[in-house]
Chain A
Amino acid sequence: EAGVTQSPTHLIKTRGQQATLRCSPISGHTSVYWYQQALGLGLQFLLWYDEGEERNRGNFPPRFSGRQFPNYSSELNVNALELEDSALYLCASSFFAEAFFGQGTRLTVV
């Protein structure tokens, strides 16, 4: 069974640009979580989608947004990129129990 897949693996953007990150959950999973992990730091909760709806968001500015599609895949959009947005962005999916993570997208803002 395929795990959580994220694309792209690496992304390099210039300050002020927009980035779009994608996540395909495990088949049957309806919840998708997004986390930001800056170098050497813990997981910071960004967004949680369930059944196509945004259920909760972390303490991040509105330029971090996303959506979940009818097939439960999800995308994370980051507008007006800043240097401090450089981090590993992790997606996880679950269905009422443990969450499984993808390998992440490494976003570098230069």
Chain B
Amino acid sequence: EDQVTQSPEALRLQEGESSSLNCSYTVSGLRGLFWYRQDPGKGPEFLFTLYSAGEEKEKERLKATLTKKESFLHITAPKPEDSATYLCAVQAPWAFQGAQKLVFGQGTRLTINP
């Protein structure tokens, strides 16, 4: 069964304290891995797509990396406005040709204290 596990469930950091969030996945035939940011009561906001091991994407203080079994979201010198829940999702082939399915992890709730 396709699975996505994110760790830690929650993380508190001081402003400027860099860290990493982990997304481990078990899926047959990964088509893509996505990172999202979700603020309370709002829909997830798309951040990155990674397709193959070794790929990296950057956006401001965030950098996402991908290996064959996991992805990391590195946060460098975070600010309070980076506080949010970060979600990881994988796209895997479905039973019939051309279709995909999307599997989400439970998210990491990140709090940055000023």
Interface, chain A (partner B; CB < 8 A): 4, 6, 31, 33, 35, 42-43, 45, 48, 50, 55-56, 88, 90, 92, 94, 96-104, 106
Contacts and interface: CB of A to CB of B under 8 A. Distances in A.
Contacts of A56: 94, 101
B49 A104 contact: no
B43 A102 contact: yes
Interface stretch (B13-21, B74-82, B102-110): B102-110
Given A90-B43, A106-B41, 12 more contacts: A43-B107, A48-B101, A55-B94, A55-B99, A88-B41, A94-B100, A99-B89, A101-B43, A101-B44, A101-B45, A102-B43, A103-B43
Nearest to A43: B104
Interface residues of B, number: 24
Contacts of A88: 41
A106 B40 CA distance: 12
Given A56-B94, A90-B44, A97 B105 contact: no
- Say what secondary structure dominates the interface of chain A: strand
B25 interface: no
Contacts of A50: 99
Contacts of A96: 98, 100
